[in-house]
Amino acid sequence: MHNTVPADGLLQGTSHSVVVVDDDEFSQEILTEMLGQLGVRDVRVAGGGREGLQILGQLQSPPDYLICDVYMPDMDGIEFLEQLAKRRYVGAVILVSGAHAEMLDIVQDVARADGIKVLGALTKPLRLQALSQMMANSPKAVAIN
């Protein structure tokens, strides 16, 4: 199955990095594949919030994008975002979930109120075009004209 993305939605440049925090292995694989299609080669995957915090702690600077599932066992996305806020995380965050859009809106509002830079939220199943547009609209992205 191939998704096509118009040229204006593709990311260019060599500095794009993404950390994916999602407990679902299938979602991890899909996101990694989609990010590869968008030209992102530096993708790190965490199976939950605690592992995500460990990965972020090992990086010298925040990734260009952090993609976080809202519902995860152990430390869910809301708790993870609270920890990011306590650490004054400055990177761009994209939320993903199989939950209703209304719940994602609430989580976005809470995270933004805590100082997290949330680019937006996507419901599963994810669509390459929606992910591409959200990333391309970020100040860190350089869109191909």
Six-digit token string for 116:
């997290």
Average pLDDT, the chain: 86
In tens, the pLDDT along 33-42 reads: 999 999 998 9
Chain centroid offset of residue 127 CA: 13
Domain assignment present for residue 3? The answer is no
Range of the domain at 121: 11-126
Six-digit token string for 105:
């809106």
Cβ-in-10-Å burial (0-12, 13-18, 19+) of 1 comes to exposed
Domain assignment present for residue 139? The answer is no
Six-digit token string for 139:
């100040």
Output the pTM of the full model. 0.86
In tens, the pLDDT along 14-31 reads: 458 999 999 999 999 999
Chain centroid offset of residue 63 CA: 10
Cα–Cα distance, 33 to 91 (Å, whole number): 22
Domain assignment present for residue 29? The answer is yes
Who wins on pLDDT, 107 or 11?
Answer: 107
Domain assignment present for residue 58? The answer is yes
In tens, the pLDDT along 58-101 reads: 999 999 999 999 999 989 899 999 999 999 999 999 999 988 88
